[in-house]
Amino acid sequence: MLDSDQRVKDGLGELLPRLRRFARALAGNPHDADDLVQTAVERALTRASQWRPDMRLDAWLYGIVRNAWIDEVRSRGRVRQLFAPDEAGANVGESGIEAQFIRMSVEAAMAKLPEEQRSAVALVLIEGLAYKEAAAVLEIPMGTLTSRLARGREALQRMLGDEAKVEA
């Protein structure tokens, strides 16, 4: 038991950027994402003995983040429509205005996806999890995951394609 506790603690530091990125995809803004990651880390540390060495630590932690988000949405009493906040373009670096616009457009499009599609897209396309791993994290069958991914990709292409036409 003590060994699994220590392995969870050791792995958390390395996985924090990925957990935050996933939380950002779920929550849609950095403040909610930071709160979500903090909640998930607290849960992971208090329940570290529940992690089994035969499980991938990242998949276990993604599941905790996802469940924490579900709890948060339920506690709010309603699913609010999320948009990329104005400060999403701040501190982006020196990548240029066009790159900032593209990133903000993708974030806004992701925020418009239904939560189940956004989660699937974030885990597979952003975090790089295999379909099987993402399906396990989301606790859904593989076929459900692939259909959510397909619908999410189509919706993103439609939304981003429409914005490209407006800009042209």
Say whether both 31 and 57 belong to one domain: yes
Specify whether 68 is located in the same domain as 100. Answer: no
Q: Residue 85: pLDDT band by 50, 70, 90 thresholds?
A: low
44 by Cβ neighbours in 10 Å (0-12 / 13-18 / 19+) ranks as buried
Are 66 and 107 part of one and the same domain? no
Q: In this structure, what token pair is assigned to residue 147? A: 């259909």
Model confidence pLDDT, tens digit, residues 56-83: 888 889 999 999 988 888 877 644 444 4
What type of residue is 53? P
Residue 62 belongs to domain with CATH number: 1.10.1740.10
Question: Are 66 and 1 found together in one domain?
Answer: yes
Tokens of 134: 């993402």
State residue 76's pLDDT score.
72
Q: Which two tokens stand for residue 91?
A: 């501190």
Tell me the per-residue pLDDT of 100-120, one tens digit each, with 9 for 90 and over. 777 788 888 888 999 999 999
Domain identity same for 76 and 100: no
pLDDT, residue 121, reads: 92
Question: Could you give phi then psi for residue 91, rounded to 5 degrees?
Answer: 55, 35
Confidence category of residue 42, pLDDT binned at 50, 70, 90: very high
Q: What are the DSSP E strand ranges found in 35-135?
A: none
Cβ-based neighbours of 110, under 8 Å, separated by 6 or more = 25, 28, 118, 121, 122, 156
Determine the Cα–Cα distance for residues 56 and 54; give it in Å rounded to an integer. Answer: 7
Least reliable range by pLDDT among 29-38, 86-95, 98-107, 109-118 = 86-95
* Domain span holding position 29: 1-80
Q: Please tell me the total count of domains within the chain.
A: 2
How does pLDDT run across 4-28, given as a tens digit for each residue? 777 888 888 888 999 999 999 988 8
CATH code at 109? 1.10.10.10
Percent of the chain residues past pLDDT 70, beyond the cut: 83
